[in-house]
Amino acid sequence: MTSLFDPIEIGHIPLSNRIAMAPLTRNRSPGAVPNDLNVTYYEQRATAGLLISEGTPISHQGQGYAQVPGLYLPESIEGWKRVTSAVHAAGGHIAAQLWHVGRVSHTSLQPNGGQPVAPSAIRAKSKTYIVNEDGTGGFVETSEPRALALDEIPGILEDYRRAARAAIDAGFDAVEIHAANGYLIDQFLRSNANARTDAYGGSIENRTRFALEVVDVIAREIGAERTGIRLSPVTPANDVSDPDPQPLFNHLIEALAAHDLAFIHVIEGATGGPRDNLPFDWAGFKAAYRARGGKAAWMVNNGYDRAMAMDAVASGRADMVSFGKAFIANPDLVQRLKDDAPLNEADRATFYGGGADGYTNYPRMA
């Protein structure tokens, strides 16, 4: 029987266990450049089979939150090299999550104070994190977006390609395409955020086009075996919805089977919330992928505890399980899960912004 603690190979990457650290936005990289604190944070958690970095904007336009590290500045790439080197020295592996937030942004975060971009000029009923002139941080309503012109889309695809190459140059073992949680790719997928009437809107085939083009351009650049994707079929995060997500995401997952991807990362239910917020056939979703020949490692996420994670892997329902908040408070989470030891509780007040407190100072087991 396969165990959560057994090794696994994803793509060509040998992992020591089937536990992943989910991407976690922490807003501790001023100027979009990873720093000493970030190096320590990731190094502390390198016993995870796979670390997935916090969302990392592919361009200045793709940024939606203050003080998140990017992949579009030379100094950012140099900062990430220090992170990946520390993780590898500790025996770990790490993937960069490639992020374009689309409409989930604020004019103060955009180039020249411009409007955020989106599939359609539909404002998200959501908030984002900014830093004020006095240095304090806080959440504000997202700004009104503008619709992307058709001739702008190739440029964004080029940004994805360039960021994927930068990630590999920075020492990452793989990349994860962020196609979840109501950000740009997810906005193209969802009918409530995409009112386009061109080749990227309307039908399911058209609404999945952008996601598949992003996968194509990245897989060609760095290899499908170093490419993963994160999906959230039923999350309402950042004001996205679709009246019938099953055929939409089944179409997408069947198309993804044509690529020999490293992993598929699935958020089951509402991100950070209930797992049963909307009816969805998760087993059928995975089966649709496998039926079309998809071989990527199947990673699941959202509300998993030790028993659930162990059962998911032992039953074959999943190949890997990712943990988010548990990794914030437990840098030695893998060992705690092995020993069935108590977990530290995360301090929500320190999730976004700040320094070492609530970031790198959580205690390990004695």
Per residue, what are the HEC states of 273-317?
Answer: CCCCCCCCCHHHHHHHHHHCCCCCEEEEECCCCHHHHHHHHHCCC
pLDDT at 341: 98
Token duo for residue 255: 């198309």
**Distance between CA atoms of residues 203 and 342, nearest Å:** 48
Name the pTM for this structure: 0.98
Which distant-in-sequence residues (6+ apart) come within 8 Å of 255 by Cβ? 208, 212
Domain-located, residue 140:
no
> What does DSSP assign to residue 212?
H
Domain-located, residue 18:
yes
DSSP 243-265: S-HHHHHHHHHHHHTTS--SEEE
pLDDT at 134: 85
What residues make up the domain containing 307? 8-102+153-350
Domain-located, residue 117:
no
Q: How many distinct structural domains can be found in the chain?
A: 1
> Is residue 330 within 8 Å of residue 362, measured between CB atoms?
yes
Which segments of the chain have a pLDDT < 70? none
Domain-located, residue 250:
yes
> What does DSSP assign to residue 193?
T
Instruction: With CA atoms as reference, report the closest residue to 70 among 23, 31, 105, 22.
Output: 31
Phi and psi for 19 in degrees, rounded to 5? -105, 130
183 catalytically annotated? yes
Sign of the CA dihedral 350, 179, 82, 299? positive
pLDDT at 217: 98
**Distance between CA atoms of residues 145 and 317, nearest Å:** 39
**Distance between CA atoms of residues 27 and 183, nearest Å:** 17
pLDDT at 279: 97
Segment 31-85, tens digit of pLDDT: 999 999 999 999 999 999 999 999 999 999 999 999 999 999 999 999 999 999 9
Domain-located, residue 133:
no
Q: Among 41, 42, 65, 183, which one carries the catalytic annotation? A: 183
* CATH code, 70: 3.20.20.70
Q: What angle do CA 276, 279, 285 make, to 5 degrees?
A: 105
pLDDT at 36: 98
pLDDT at 133: 82
pLDDT at 135: 82
343, β-bridge pairs: none
Q: State the first-to-last Cα distance of the chain, in angstroms, to the nearest integer.
A: 31
> What does DSSP assign to residue 191?
T
pLDDT at 270: 98
Place of tokens 């058209």: 206
Domain-located, residue 132:
no
Domain-located, residue 355:
no
Domain-located, residue 211:
yes
